[in-house]
Amino acid sequence: MHTTQLETDYLIIGCGAVGMAFADVLLAETDANIIIVDKHHKPGGHWNDAYSFVTLHQPSAFYGVSSLELSNGKRDEIGMNKGLHELASGPEVLSYFDQVMKHQFLPSGRVQYFPMCDYRGNGEFSSMLSDKQYKVTVNRKIIDGTYFKTSVPATHTPNFEIADGVQFAPLNDLPNLTEPKDGYVVVGGGKTGIDACLWLLDNHIDPDDITWIMPRDGWWIDRKNTQPTREFFNYSIGAQVKQMEALANAESLDDLFVRLEAGGVLLRLDKNVKPAMFHGATVSQEEATQLRRISNVVRHGRVSRIGLNEITFADTAIATTPNTLHIDCSARAVPVTETYPVFNGDTVTVQTVRSYQPVFSAAFIAHIEANYDDEAIKNDICKVVPLPNHDVDWLIGAAAQMQNQYRWSQEPGLRDWLIQNRLDGFTALVQPSDEATPEQMQLLGKLKELVPMVIANLPKLMGEAMQRKQAL
């Protein structure tokens, strides 16, 4: 069997948002040649498998690749995101990445793209549709853009038993429904569970006909506080001030979350239920209001079996019917928990260096790769912010991100790159500006004043967080 020999400076594994954001910066800041290998038939990674009504849950304004705007600054004028920066749909995101590949990457003459190919390691990959095999000589680095292993309902295998005859489907199938059901059971409390519930409500399903199985309640981020333009300054920077006040004054972890909620930094479904999960899910106030219309929220832990007439948990069961549709939203979008050094010899493993922003992180890591030589310094600048899962991970991630931000502030020239890079979103907002109002200047001053208090209080909170984390 013939193997084709190839040569490149960088071999990028994965043509999703992470791989493309990394490649985009390499093209802009180096003269390197790049090979990109991916299992999907077109750019976009897991977006190829996503449900048709999926959207971003943070503003399009800081998603995609650094060199090309995705949203063109538009805001939504209707719907549950009204008044906020638009959230691109799945088809829009796929089209965007396709355009980036066709009109920027490939015309550069420095990128080779191999879709529908399976990477086997050691610079070797093969076509999934033929007997063609390839061996790549990599002159600089292999970039692993697959660390996040994003799981979507269409490709996820549930970890519970499903009896024969049960109407069970991923939420991908919801738009194909043509007749009413006895009811709708949404299995999963994460972002896809939120999307399934909102889709049902938006399509005239009575909230009393929806059962939401919630193994763990989660803390949510108020999307209003994630808007990256000056008109939302008092919300976005104001939320950062409230976050710092909570970190500075909280007497315990429980007190911290009380303060974060009171300050509008975090939201939850039910004020009578303490969330045990945090995945960084972002919702608007209107979405939260709609979700609270669902009264039948089941909190018995994880499902063990779905039968024709009952749904079984570890210690109890609830009734269902053969004509009830059970919607699988149980996949965790980013299931990985281990972290690795970002730079390790000839391999770069792209991970988050800022909380729940993998695309920005990819672009940032690519910039560091392009402009620094010493591996120890590169890893010191690119310390991993662990992906969140439990409630305590909000604090662990916030502490890691603050350490990174401080380190970046000490690095000559890095602030200017952050200000100019559109994926960053917020560094430019906190710079001195003639457009800043007295109220905005006051908020910036408050942020600086709180830093010593946060530094003083953080060890106590982190000690409690690590103890709780070890007990989970």
pLDDT digits (tens, 9 = 90+) for 7-57: 999 999 999 999 999 999 999 999 999 999 999 999 999 999 988 999 999
DSSP for residue 55: B
Beta bridge partners of 122: none
For range 163-190, the mean pLDDT: 95
Tell me the average pLDDT across 120-149: 94
d(CA 449, CA 244): 10
pLDDT the model gives residue 433: 78
Q: Is the pLDDT assigned to residue 148 strictly greater than 90? A: no
What pLDDT score was predicted for residue 436?
A: 83
pLDDT of 154 higher than 70: no
CA distances from 101 to 64, 322, 357, 424 (A): 12, 46, 22, 22
Q: With 70 as the cut, is the pLDDT of residue 286 above it? A: yes
CA–CA distance, 251 with 52 (Å, rounded to integer): 45
Distance separating alpha carbons of residues 82 and 85, to the nearest angstrom: 8
- Give pLDDT, residue 430: 83
DSSP letters, 354-407, are: STT-HHHHHHHHHHHHHH---HHHHHHHT---PPP-BTTHHHHHHHHHHHHHHH
**Paired strand residues for 36:** 12, 113
Buried b or exposed e, range 59-89, using 16+ CB within 10 angstroms: bbbbbbbbeeebbeeebeeeebbeebbbbbb
Quick check: 414 pLDDT over 60?
yes
| Burial (Cβ within 10 Å: 0-12, 13-18, ≥19) of residue 453 | middle
CB-based contact 199:89 (threshold 8 Å):
no
Helix (H, G, I), strand (E, B) or coil at 134: strand
Q: What is the pLDDT of residue 157?
A: 81
What pTM does this model have?
Answer: 0.94
Band of residue 432 on the pLDDT scale cut at 50, 70, 90: confident
Pair of tokens at residue 146: 């697959």
| Beta-bridge mates of residue 10 | 34, 141
Place of tokens 């990819």: 362
The Cα–Cα gap between 59 and 70 comes to: 10
Domains identified in the chain and CATH numbers: 3-150+337-387 (3.50.50.60), 153-217+278-328 (3.50.50.60)
Gap between the Cα atoms of 143 and 150, Å rounded: 17
- Residue-wise pLDDT for 331-363, tens only, equals 875 556 789 999 999 999 999 999 989 999 999
